[in-house]
């Protein structure tokens, strides 16, 4: 069973379908402090609506023509509306990013809504992760096939930005995909091989290698869209239950799912991201973000609910763990707040693939417990270093 469900090859399913024409979009914000629009302001596709004070975090833009109906700390709501004749906001001009370089390019990309930080991170080798990130997300083959020109456009910009001396395309074994200037590194397309740690280990041949960074194909595609059009990033590819759509950023999850023909009923779960690591949202209107790779609807009763049953020590998690740690032991340590023992059992080696909880017959929330443990350990370390700093100040 595991091999079929965790296979990451789906074949090239052709060009992406168009996402819904939303009646309302909710553009999610992540710390974008400076809202450049007010309530009732009219916007056109591509109008800047929120600026981030960090010079490398992408700005947010309206994806549709409409009027702003609500501005909150974490989203801007725009209702679709035909632009009125007299006060129509100016449509946005395309920027020729391919002519720019250096800081000018960074600034231009930020203004176009691209997160520049992952592109300029220090590394010797940049690996472009050409595998589907999680089971059920299916756009990788199509991106490397039909949308190769978009990826190449993004890659041309990436080469100017990234300090990496070498670029590698990690692709599925037997795949004919290639990108100019990248050497291919075939990887067996089975989850969790698509995770950053695993990709680096497979490409470099060692689990202890440094100087490697992994860039998701999704990010490169977003960059490519901006590079090709010169317009702000307002659409991205989202794999909806295995079918890929080009969706306007901010489109509510429920609208996308309904457009794809999935009816949502009471007690269903909507998963944003992948089914193994993604987030279950309680909000039907939660908007699609720039880095949303997948949307999944899990019908009520498909899987047994998570319980707080005690660990029965069956060892399934230990046998399936790609990090070779003992999730059963660690999850129990977390339950008893014994974080020192968690560190001793190498909780930090966990790459959060979710296989432990997938195989747990007691349906324990293993990955959640491990994430909680990591979080608590980080908090504790932050406190310790803060105390140390205070001590130094006192001594000085």
Partner 1 sequence: MSIEALPTAPFLAVGAAPHYHCGTSIKGMMRNILIALAPAVIGALYWYGMEAARVMALAVATAVVVETLATKAMHREVMVDDMHAVVSGLLFSFLLPAGAPWWLVITGTAVTMLMGKMLFGELGGSPVVGPAVGWAFCRVSWPLFVDPNAMMLNTEMVNPLTQLKYFGVAQASQFGLPALLSGNQLGALGAAQVGALLIGGIYLVVRGTIRWQIPAGFVIGVLGLGGLYYAMDPTMYANPVFHLLTGSTMLAAFFLMTDSTSSPNGCVSRLVYGLVGGLLVVLIRTYGKYPDGVMFAVLLANMVSPLVDMIKPKPFGAR
Other beta carbons less than 10 A from residue 205's beta carbon:
9
Residue 393: exposure state from Cβ atoms within 10 A (0-12, 13-18, ≥19): exposed
Q: How far is the CB of 198 from partner 1 (least distance, A)?
A: 9
Pick 71 or 349: Cβ nearer partner 1: 349
Are residues 112 and 97 in contact, defined by beta-carbon separation less than 8 angstroms?
yes
Q: How far is the CB of 18 from partner 1 (least distance, A)?
A: 25
Q: How far is the CB of 4 from partner 1 (least distance, A)?
A: 12
Q: How far is the CB of 376 from partner 1 (least distance, A)?
A: 16
Identify the three-state secondary structure at position 240.
strand
Q: How far is the CB of 323 from partner 1 (least distance, A)?
A: 4
Pick 88 or 378: Cβ nearer partner 1: 378
Binding residues for partner 1 (CB under 8 A): 1-2, 5, 135, 197, 201, 207-208, 264-271, 275-285, 296, 298, 300, 303-306, 309-316, 318-319, 322-326, 328, 346, 349, 351, 354-355, 357-363, 365, 367-368
Pick 183 or 346: Cβ nearer partner 1: 346
Cβ-proximal residues to 320 (8 Å cutoff; 6+ apart), any chain: 355, 356, 358, 359
Q: How far is the CB of 316 from partner 1 (least distance, A)?
A: 8
Pick 103 or 266: Cβ nearer partner 1: 266
Pick 143 or 200: Cβ nearer partner 1: 200
Closest CA to 255 of 301, 297, 302, 303: 297
Closest CA to 199 of 355, 359, 368, 351: 351
Pick 314 or 387: Cβ nearer partner 1: 314
């Amino acid at each position: 069973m595991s091999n079929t469900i965790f296979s990451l090859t789906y074949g090239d399913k052709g060009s992406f379908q168009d996402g819904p024409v939303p009646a309302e979009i909710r553009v999610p914000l992540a710390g974008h402090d400076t809202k450049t629009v007010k309530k009732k302001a009219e916007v056109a596709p591509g109008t800047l609506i929120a600026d981030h004070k960090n010079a490398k975090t992408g700005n947010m833009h309206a994806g549709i023509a409409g009027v702003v109906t609500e501005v909150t700390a974490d989203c801007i709501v725009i209702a679709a509306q035909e632009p009125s004749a007299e006060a129509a906001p100016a449509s946005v001009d395309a920027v020729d990013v391919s002519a720019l370089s250096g800081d000018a390019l960074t600034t231009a990309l930020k203004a176009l809504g691209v997160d520049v930080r992952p592109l300029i991170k220090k590394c010797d080798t940049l690996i472009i992760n050409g595998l589907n990130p999680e089971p059920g997300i299916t756009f990788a083959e199509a991106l490397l096939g039909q949308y190769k020109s978009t990826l190449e456009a993004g890659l041309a910009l990436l080469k100017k930005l990234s300090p990496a001396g070498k670029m590698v395309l990690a692709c599925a074994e037997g795949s004919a995909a290639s990108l100019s200037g990248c050497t291919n590194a075939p990887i067996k397309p089975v989850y969790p091989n698509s995770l950053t740690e695993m990709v680096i280990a497979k490409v470099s041949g060692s689990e202890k290698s440094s100087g490697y960074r992994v860039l998701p194909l999704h990010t490169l595609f977003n960059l490519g869209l901006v590079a090709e059009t010169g317009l702000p990033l307002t659409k991205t590819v989202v794999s909806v239950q295995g079918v890929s759509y080009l969706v306007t950023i901010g489109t509510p999850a429920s609208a996308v799912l309904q457009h794809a023909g999935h009816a949502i009923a009471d007690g269903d779960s909507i998963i944003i991201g992948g089914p193994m690591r993604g987030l279950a949202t309680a909000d039907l209107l939660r908007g699609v973000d720039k880095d949303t790779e997948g949307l999944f609807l899990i019908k009520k009763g498909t899987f047994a609910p998570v319980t707080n049953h005690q660990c029965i020590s069956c060892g399934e998690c230990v046998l399936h763990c790609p990090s070779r740690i003992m999730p059963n032991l660690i999850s129990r340590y977390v339950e008893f707040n014994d974080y020192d023992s968690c560190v001793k059992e190498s909780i930090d080696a966990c790459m959060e693939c979710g296989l432990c909880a997938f195989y747990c017959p007691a349906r324990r929330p293993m990955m959640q417990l491990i994430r909680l443990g990591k979080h608590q350990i980080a908090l504790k370390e932050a406190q310790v270093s803060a105390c140390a700093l205070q001590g130094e100040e006192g001594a000085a």
